[in-house]
Structures are given as C-alpha cells and as structure tokens.
Structure 1
C-alpha cells in the first residue's frame, strides 16, 4: 500500500474512534445532567491530559502510532488539545508572550469567525 494512503487510513481510523469517544463522553455527561458547556470543558481538558500522556507514549513507538493516536484519535476527540499543545510548546521554548497571544488570539478570532459565519449563512435554502 502507498505510504500516503496507509497514513491517511491510520488517521481516518483513529479519527473515527475519537469521534465515537467524544460522542460517548457527551452522552455520559448528559446522563449525569451536566450542562453542555461543562461536558465540552471535560472533553477538552481530558483531551489535553491524553495528548500529554500519548505524546510521551508515542515518542519511542514511531510515526504510525503518532498518526493514529495524536492526529487521529485525539483529532476526532478534541482539537483543543492540539491548540493547547502549541501554546505549551511556545511557553516551554521561552516565548510566553507568543503563547499568550496564541491562546487569546485564537479564542477571540474563533468567536469572531463564528459570528461572521452566522452573518454570512443563508437564512433558508
């Protein structure tokens, strides 16, 4: 199999699994009568913990493990962990102002992009 196709399949399988895990986590949160915001918070923070854990786990196991677990599984579960990892990398490389700008800028720009998307969306099709 072509390596690019194999890598895409690995990411797709991991991503599908991550999406199912996110659905299960959200369903479980609803069963405990947690608000949707609390459920998303729990998914995002657990995803960050898992990113740190799995990053350490995959470092000595090769690129396919990284693709399956970090890019695929956690990409399907929550992309917040990648955003947090990028900010952590900036902090740990001695660039706290850039880390803060990344965190605040991404959050504010994301909120603005949602607002603009809502304005641009057709009201009916």
Structure 2
C-alpha cells in the first residue's frame, strides 16, 4: 500500500511540476529558472508543514504527500543543472542568484511551513 501511495503522489507531483514550471517560465522573459525556484519553494513549504504536523502529533500522509508528491514536485537535479548551465553560458550573476535564492527560498519556505503547522496543531 505504501508503494502505491508514493507512486500516486509522485505521478501528481511530477505533472504539477511540469505544468507549474511551464506556466511560470512563460510569464518571465529571462534566462533565470523561475519555474524551478517556485516549485522548489512550494515543495519546501509543504514539506515544512508536513514535518510540523508530524512534530505536533497530527496524522500526516507522509508516503503520499512527503515522499511521493513533494519528492516529485521538487527537483534538486534540475536546480543543479540550471545553475551550471547559467554559469557556463556566462550568466554568472543569474547562477549565483539562483543558488543563493533557491537555498534561502527552500529554507525559508520550510521554516514557514513548520510555523504554520505550529499555529494549526501546536
């Protein structure tokens, strides 16, 4: 059953990542990977919320949402690829902004998720 929940969550997360990335990138006429930044920040927020819910004793659908959905929604490999691509294309400022911004957005979003969980279940 756990495998099926992970697979279902993964299928939904991967599809949402693709659609969100395309939707966000279509609205920005730059070489900066805004779509990847957005899905990683949203995924970090959801993981923070899920972690916080677990910390405060709320039932959490970890296999479906945490491992499956957020695992497929967020993408470290694309973030890494896009950062290196920006660097090798000579867009050093965008590369640095992507790395720093993604790390800060991920940590900040995760922390906000935990704080929200504390407000809801704490």
Name the SS for the 1:33 alignment partner: coil
Aligned counterparts of 1:31 and 1:79: Cα–Cα separation in 2: 19
In the alignment, which residue of structure 1 is the partner of 2:46? 50
User: 1:57-112, CA deviations, whole angstroms, 9 ceiling, x for partnerless residues?
Assistant: 455215xx1100000000110155xxxxxxxxxxxxxxxxxxxxxxxxxxxxxxxx
Give every structure 1 segment of 4 or more consecutive aligned residues whose post-TM-superposition deviation is greater than 3 Å. Answer: none
Aligned counterparts of 1:79 and 1:29: Cα–Cα separation in 2: 15
TM-superposed deviation, 1:10: 0.6
The farther-off stretch of 9-18 and 46-55 is: 46-55
Are residues 53 and 32 of structure 1, via their aligned partners in 2, closer, same or farther at CA, if it must alter by over 3 Å?
same
Aligned counterparts of 2:17 and 2:36: Cα–Cα separation in 1: 9
Count of residues in Structure 1 that have an aligned counterpart in Structure 2: 74
In the alignment, which residue of structure 1 is the partner of 2:63? 67
In the alignment, which residue of structure 1 is the partner of 2:74? 78
In the alignment, which residue of structure 2 is the partner of 1:13? 8
The higher-RCO structure (CA 8 Å, 6+ apart) is 2
Q: If the length of structure 2 is used for normalisation, what is the TM-score?
A: 0.52
Are residues 77 and 68 of structure 1, via their aligned partners in 2, closer, same or farther at CA, if it must alter by over 3 Å?
same
- Structure 2, unpaired ranges of 5+: 77-122
Aligned counterparts of 1:46 and 1:23: Cα–Cα separation in 2: 14
- Structure 1, unpaired ranges of 5+: 1-5, 81-125
Q: If the length of structure 1 is used for normalisation, what is the TM-score?
A: 0.51
